[in-house]
Amino acid sequence: MKKAWWKEAVVYQIYPRSYMDSNGDGVGDIPGIISKLDYIKSLGVDIIWLCPVYESPNDDNGYDISDYRKISEEFGGDPAFDELLEKIHGKGLKLVMDLVVNHSSDEHEWFEESRKSKDSPYRDYYFWKPGKDNGPPNNWTSFFSGSTWEYDSRTDEYFLHLFTKKQPDLNWENPKVRQEIYDVVDYWFKRGIDGFRMDVISLISKQLEFEDASNPENYEETIKTRYANGPRIHEFLQEMNKEVLSKYDIMTVGEGPGIDLDNALFYVDDSRDELNMVFHFDHMFIDNGPGGKYDPIEMNFIRFKEVFSQWDERLKGKGWGSIFLGNHDFSRMVSRFGSDSEFRVESSKMLAMLLLSMRGTVYVYQGDEIGMTNVAFPQITDYNDVETLNSWKEAEERGEDMNAFMKLVHKQSRDNARTPMQWDSSQNAGFSSGTPWIKVNPNYEEINVADQEPDSDSILNFYRKMIAFRKNNPCLVYGDYQDLAPQHPSLFAFRRWDEDSESLVLLNFSSTELMADINLDFDKFEIAISNMDEGADPKLLLPWQGILLKRIN
């Protein structure tokens, strides 16, 4: 496997609104991040991925950009950004930004011009269509509820928006649009950033027939058959690579629904010169029913493990994977895959062990390093996320039992991951001296950085230990992967090895003890890391215990 800095990296994802507020306006900002750079460096991570900080009306918290070259004043503006980048580099870290170019904000000047008239030179920057039978051009529904088409009376046509109506989709068919985007990308590389995470890149090429979805209420099917992986997607990515990406030593990771085992290599096969990595959602959508996130089904643990095996098998030797268990779009990793009550500490550490011993580039989401959990706000008015609020409205219109729906919100809302970072036990968890834009999780008095710093047994210090261990054991980065107990209902046991070394990882995904009955010569291994006081028998795993063993050389 060819080596590269971005393959060996551990990435720390920051959701800037919720990280650290420096000026008391309740909104996290860039000076706030600067004040925490020593903390970030102390984790042992290599790269910061910063969610969007560009100028934006914030209909979708920055994923609706109105100026691609400007840092939002709310976050501190361009001078603060320049200082951040310089300090990040000064610490030997790198910075990856978000590139959101499937859509812009409706307040971007391109769209403001586009909507003025059918003859506007910007008309073709977006998708405009006449209606059909007094309604929208087709039956597509947006990721965030309702039709993907919004009527604009000025020109008596509809425009396409796969997300909110303030996020009109850019028309990549238009070469001028593509050139504008490549110029933006080039602008940021010239400014010195080290890569891009490309938002919903799987959606940029549209099926121009705009054919009705056959089962519009089936979310996954519609994504796969209508929205994602359009006919020119790879042509566009290869063009972007040739025009700009290939000219810099940077990293790219594409995000997007509809990226699956069958098509991933088209994006990341080394020989195709498109992207370095993609995020897939096979494990993240594992508890989604046909209606999506607000139609949950039970998590299938055997399938969960299978996802890791299948992806490793598919990419090995050809492309490179990305490993993550949470981000700003999903509920908290410990609440989903671990146990956020009695065994919160144990299971947070165990999940850290999983993350940091898989093959691929590892992404740690802010707050997971201290075991932050989901939140259960009592009122829908406590929520901010547009996806949550729209789903709520739809459920209300359908006449659903709203108490039951509230439970779903508690479980699934993206705001679970967006409550402020919990720094200490002072007011607002030390996040802000003002009123935070979204409430702090009330458990901040128990779960916060300040308490965990001095405690050598804390989740935080366990992350540091695991990250350092991974750095010292390249076998965990590049080595081969094998699941040792794929059918076991609660044990995740796998092997990582290369020419020089071998590690075993045993993880108990349950609240009861278990015997890891696997056919291996345990005498040849010694315990390197455990998330609990090391027991005498590595095969006997306590609830949520994780053990990493290394072959004795």
Among residues 200 and 467, whose Cβ is nearest to ligand ISL? 200
Catalytic site residue 255?
yes
Among residues 203 and 516, whose Cβ is nearest to ligand ISL? 203
Contact residue for Ca ion among 21, 274, 312, 387 (CB under 5 A): 21
Least distance (Å) between residue 236 CB and Ca ion: 36
Q: Which does 257 bind (CB under 5 to 8 A by kind): Ca ion, ligand ISL, none?
A: ligand ISL
Q: Which does 23 bind (CB under 5 to 8 A by kind): ligand ISL, Ca ion, none?
A: Ca ion
Residues that bind ligand ISL (CB under 6 A): 60, 63, 100, 143, 163, 199-200, 257, 293, 328-329, 387, 414
Q: Which is the catalytic residue, given 255, 287, 346, 415?
A: 255
E strands, 188-325, are: 195-198, 251-255, 277-279, 288-289, 292-296, 322-323
Q: How far apart are CA 386 and CA 384, in angstroms?
A: 6
Q: Which is the catalytic residue, given 199, 274, 387, 502?
A: 199
Q: How far apart are CA 123 and CA 197, in angstroms?
A: 28
DSSP 19: T
- Does position 451 interact with Ca ion (CB under 5 A)? The reply is no
Least distance (Å) between residue 107 CB and ligand ISL: 15
Task: Indicate the Cα dihedral angle 382, 324, 257, 485, nearest 10°.
Answer: -120
Among residues 27 and 204, whose Cβ is nearest to Ca ion? 27
Least distance (Å) between residue 523 CB and ligand ISL: 46
- Does position 354 interact with Ca ion (CB under 5 A)? The reply is no
Least distance (Å) between residue 201 CB and ligand ISL: 10
- Does position 27 interact with Ca ion (CB under 5 A)? The reply is yes
Phi-psi region of 377 (alpha: psi -120 to 50; beta: other; left: phi over 0): beta
Residues 6 or more apart whose CB falls under 8 angstroms from that of 140 comprise 147, 148, 149, 162, 210, 212, 213, 216, 222, 226, 227
Which DSSP string do the residues of 128-169 spell out, in sequence order?
Answer: EE--BTTB-SS--B-TTSSBSEEEETTTTEEEE-SS-TTSPB
Catalytic site residue 533?
no
Contact residue for Ca ion among 9, 29, 49, 65 (CB under 5 A): 29
As a three-state string, the secondary structure of 359-404 is CCEEEEECCHHHCCCCCCCCCHHHCCCHHHHHHHHHHHHCCCCHHH
E strands, 58-111, are: 67-71, 94-99
Least distance (Å) between residue 66 CB and Ca ion: 19
Q: Which does 365 bind (CB under 5 to 8 A by kind): Ca ion, ligand ISL, none?
A: none
- Does position 71 interact with Ca ion (CB under 5 A)? The reply is no
By annotation, the residues acting in catalysis are: 199, 255
Chain residues binding Ca ion by CB under 5 A are: 21, 23, 25, 27, 29
